[in-house]
Amino acid sequence: MAREVALPLEIEEERPEPRKRWKRLLSTARKHPLGVFGLGCVSLLFFCGIFADLIVPFDPEATLRERQTYGSLVKAIEPNDTRLTIADAQLEVGTNFDIDGERMSVVPPAPKVSGTGTIINVQRASSQSAHEAGAALELDTAIANIKPSWSHPFGTDHNAKDVLSRVIFGARISLLIGLTAIITGVTAGAFFGVISGYFGKIVDTIIQRCVDILLAFPAVVLLLAIITVVGDEDSSVRRFLANNTPLPKGEFLGIPTFLDVFIVALVIGLAVAVFTTRVVRGAVLSIKENVYVDAARAMGASDARIMWRHIFPNVAALVVILGSVLLPVAILAEAAISFLGVGVPLGTPSWGADLSDEKSRQNMLEGIWWPVFFPGLALSLVVLGFNMLGDAFRDLSDPRLRGSGLGGGGGGGAGRGPI
């Protein structure tokens, strides 16, 4: 079986001119269409996340209402008359509407159809004035479950909230949780990993046994267990964060319960830290055997200085790579625990929480697919984008596979997180 691997001969090439560099970038992009697609998805996530409140067409939290006017009041209403004939409006029991600014609601018995229109019984509000025949009837309804259309490209959900706006805000929440979890997790992981690897002996043993214990839990179970403890209404961690840090207690960045979302991010960060500690420690074990570490020590450098100036710079690249690989995993983890109903509070426009909405899923079986379909699609596209981007980078960085179109095979389990 013949397999042709075209190895490009680029070795003799000199440092390219700026314009040439652009050209090469373009040709690289053309060779990796999936990578470009991934970059597009990830860029879209960042764009939507950062500018969410500027680009949303509606408030993701607001119940959308609609005013409809029917010039169809056939019979005048006398002060004591509570019967009303209307031409064509579909008014069910419980509907509220206004006539000349007076609020009325339809009460049982149910509407009866007569020759000229529908007769309904109404409950009148305080004022007892009579209304003219032909007065406008203003209906004020929440527009729930409307199909995707030009004004609502992704439709509205059963709470009459605009799905597109919620998906865009979901990007912000995903990004916020992902980045917070990665930054805190990777920083803490690098810190403990360097200390554990550098000092060895008892410090290493203590830290690594703790890591062993935390790694013994399946990730989802660990996250569930910790979040129920830490995220509890009056847990000490939560109270500490609320009282002793400048974190806002209420709404922030357009997210209604910022503190809860932040706590979810911290807990995911803990899981990230556990993993990072193990990996960084392994790298440090080999780095600290280098001669320059001995040299630094011989020159009288302190442990802290050696770790910061000689060891950390050598694991920094690894830490950055770990962070970028774990970012989609963290986003997915948030969605999963929110889906299980343990993550962000109910009603937060998070993709996972929207997917878990019981009513929306019931409606989906009856053909109202958009409130569930779009958040899930967004989540899948984001993870897909990160994976494709990662594959493209791996292709580019593995010289054996460069140009052969054979990449995307390495790693295997690396891109797959706890879900």
Write out the residues near other proteins by the rule CB under 8 A: 1, 3, 34, 209-210, 212-213, 216-221, 224-226, 228-229, 232, 234-236, 332, 335-336, 339-342, 352, 355-356, 361, 364-365, 367, 369, 372-373, 376, 379-381, 383-384, 387-388, 391, 404-406, 408-413, 415-419
Provide the 3-class DSSP secondary structure of residue 86.
Answer: strand
Q: Please identify, using beta-carbon distances, which residue of 5 and 26 lies nearer to other proteins.
A: 5
Which residues, 6+ apart, have CB-to-CB distance to 213 below 8 Å?
Answer: none
Q: Please identify, using beta-carbon distances, which residue of 213 and 247 lies nearer to other proteins.
A: 213
Q: Please identify, using beta-carbon distances, which residue of 23 and 209 lies nearer to other proteins.
A: 209
CB 165 within 8 A of CB 248: no
Q: Please identify, using beta-carbon distances, which residue of 200 and 409 lies nearer to other proteins.
A: 409
Q: Please identify, using beta-carbon distances, which residue of 97 and 192 lies nearer to other proteins.
A: 192
Q: For residue 262, give the DSSP letter.
A: H
Minimum gap (Å) between residue 342 Cβ and other proteins: 7
CB 405 within 8 A of CB 33: no
Which residues, 6+ apart, have CB-to-CB distance to 377 below 8 Å?
Answer: none
Q: What is the dihedral of CA 317, 319, 324, 325, to 10 degrees?
A: 110
Provide the 3-class DSSP secondary structure of residue 370.
Answer: helix
**At CA 125, angle to CA 124 and CA 126, rounded to 5?**
125
Q: Please identify, using beta-carbon distances, which residue of 117 and 269 lies nearer to other proteins.
A: 269
Quick one: which of 89, 131, 126, 129 has its CA closest to 106? 89
Beta bridge partners of 124: 104
- Please give the structure tokens belonging to residue 192: 């403990």
Provide the 3-class DSSP secondary structure of residue 333.
Answer: helix
Q: Please identify, using beta-carbon distances, which residue of 48 and 331 lies nearer to other proteins.
A: 331
Q: Please identify, using beta-carbon distances, which residue of 186 and 355 lies nearer to other proteins.
A: 355
Number of C-beta neighbours around residue 370 at 10 A = 23
Provide the 3-class DSSP secondary structure of residue 400.
Answer: coil
**At CA 174, angle to CA 173 and CA 179, rounded to 5?**
100
Q: What are phi and psi of 404, to 5 degrees?
A: -90, -10
